[in-house]
Amino acid sequence: MQLQALLATSNPGKLRDFAGAAAPYGITIANIPHFSSLPEVVEDGATFEENARKKAESYSLAVSGELVLADDSGLEIDALGGAPGVHSARYAADEPHNAECNTDDAANNARVLRELKGVSEQKRTARFICVMAVARDGHTLHTFRGAAEGIILDAPRGQHGFGYDPLFYFPQIGKTFAELSAAEKAQYSHRGAAFRAFLEWHREA
């Protein structure tokens, strides 16, 4: 029986990432029907896990009996004390912790580059974090965490991906995440790692 999981996101980049990670396993990732008409969940948690659980639980109430996946993910830069962290999607705002909507990818990247100006490559270490929650009927069944370690470049590279992908250099393969195909990104990314953990859990459940 083919597994279908519903993804709680309005971000087409995330949908592509998870669909790419699921494809080799014969799993279909679809968006929640009429997702744009559902009340938006405010991501005000202090951690990636809090936000992921909140979204998965809330949106699963709209599709009774279905497995709903939601993630919260972001970039942690060591030289910036772990920022932008849970505020990754709103980092260009004057007050990211109070911003009500996401800011433009290019603006977010520009702020990171400004704040890292003059910082040596050795100190530009960073990681992408993804925490995924799976819920059914308003209850979180499990959470999964994935991470990818890299270095922030001083200029963007690559045309694929979204978010901070053009700045995130992955030394293991000598490319930024924006230079990877969907299949390559699924193999190496934080979302791919979290999704594989979900698959292992689902096989044993």
Q: What is the set of active-site residues?
A: 72
CB atoms within 10 A of CB 1: 3
Cβ-proximal residues to 195 (8 Å cutoff; 6+ apart), any chain: 18, 21, 22, 132, 144, 146, 186
Q: Cα separation of 148 and 191, whole Å? A: 9
Residue-wise DSSP of 82-144 = T-BGGGGGGTTSSSTTT-SSPPPHHHHHHHHHHHTTT--GGG-EEEEEEEEEEEETTEEEEEE
Decide if 70 contacts 61 (C-beta within 8 A).
no
